[in-house]
Each structure stands twice: as structure tokens, then as C-alpha cells.
Chain A
């Protein structure tokens, strides 16, 4: 399996290198991807829960802001 490509643009020399991630970069990238996917799902769930709660309460987001204001 090929690893993700990364690009490095050296501003001093204007040299551009495109290469596969090395072992360390790939391990770190995989860890961060897993964390990010979980975080995105948690945020999306929180948003969905909030929207569902507002529906149950019969409130709009603006009305909720007014109450909490």
C-alpha cells in the first residue's frame, strides 16, 4: 500500500519535493486521523442532539439564544 504523499516547498531555494511519508510521519498521521474522525463524529452528534432537543422543546436556535441571553 502506498503511503500518503506530502509536499515540501523550500522558500529559500524554491525547491519543491513531493514524497511519501516516512515511518514516523505515517504513524503520527494515522493517529491524528483516527482522533480527528472521532472528534468530528462527536461534534456532529452534539450538534444533532442539540437540534433534536430544540425540536422537542419547540424552540428555534434564535429563541434559545434569547432565553440564554
Chain B
């Protein structure tokens, strides 16, 4: 339904508008009254508007030069990664809570992380509970169920100035454990340390809704940031 607007006219002082002027025969506000919920009116040419009916639930409006209006309702492509939060690490621990449940897995990045008092490593607690870790730093491997998942560790202390990436799969599931992995590196003293770990959050019946990040001893010094992404 093409709805044309009147050609622009220059009016003069004293001009009087009649009802027909206002209702117009060639398309005015009356004619662009929406006929259904969600109707949009999009320009299809100069001085011409065309009604664009709403798409289906979940669709988004996208530019489409081949369409009469240059617009099209499309279903978003599934997949991809969305930045959910950016949180500065401070204090003895930093918690990210009320995590969106709209994704398949979580991916986190800690960068510029520094902890005071020469902490040996960084731990992540899930929903305030313990996790198991099999972790490897340098040439040594440890395994335990601890007060948190070991995101990073350096024997002898001082795992600072490092970057760590971690993932938590199936974090919304309420019938399975949630696998966790991390890898990273830093230069805690005079040597570079490569680090990797795997483990899981063992509680099957509970989805992951909060993550707490803490140095194993002492506090964050405030310069680090944790980025949390949702992955479809």
C-alpha cells in the first residue's frame, strides 16, 4: 500500500486550511494510521511511504536494499558471542551475580589481573560453592576439590600481572555438572608461567548464576578486569 504525502507547498500568511486539506486526498496522517499492531511506515521512494507489517516474534529489522522499503524483518542468526558484563576486580573478592541464562556457555577473560601479597593464584567460586580442579602450572600438576576453581596458579606465589581465559559449558543446565576450563599465563617473578586447568562445578541441579573471583590470599589491587561473555 503506497501512501503518498502531498508535495511540499509554500504557504502564505493568511492561508486557510479546510477539512479536506487536512484529511487530504493524496495521503496524509489519516492514511498512515496503522491498520495493525506493529505496523511501520517506511519510505519506499521520495515522498512515498509504504506500510511494513511487523515480523514474527524474535525477528529483527534489517537493512535490505532489494526490498521496496529498503527494510526487512529477519530471524537473527544463532550463535555468536555477547559481552554480558565488564567488572573491575577489587577487594578480597569480586562477584558477578544474576548472570543471564540465555546462552549455552560462558566465556570469561581476566586481563591485567594483579593481586596483592604475592598470591599464588586466583580462584573462581561458582554460586559460592567449591569446584574441582586439575591444574597444571609449569611442570607440575595438582588435583583437588577446593574452595574454588583454580583459574591460575604459580607455585612459590606471585601469580600477578597475568591474563586468563576460562569457559563454563552447560551453565544453565539443571541436570548435569558444568565443565570448566581455563588457560593463561603471566610472569610472576623472573620467569614466564604457562597455566592450564580443567574441572567442573559438581552441583547438577543448580544453574550457574554467580561467579566470584578472588586471589588465593590477600586482595585484588584494583587494576584487573573480568569480562564475561555469553556464547550461543
Contact = CB atoms under 8 A, between A and B. Distances in A.
Interface of A: 4-14, 16, 18, 21, 29, 32-33, 35-37, 40, 43-44, 47, 61
Interface string B138-152: 011010000100000
B216 A36 contact: yes
* B contact patch SS: loop
A47 B155 CA distance: 8
Given A36-B216, A47-B140, A7 B93 contact: yes
A44 B157 contact: yes
A8 B216 contact: no
Nearest to B147: A32
B190 to A, nearest CB: 15
B33 interface: no
Interface of B: 84-85, 87-100, 120, 139-140, 142, 147, 155-157, 216-217, 219, 228
Nearest to B209: A11
B95 A11 contact: no
A12 B85 CA distance: 10
A47 B137 CA distance: 12
B98 A13 contact: yes
A33 B218 CA distance: 8
B215 to A, nearest CB: 9
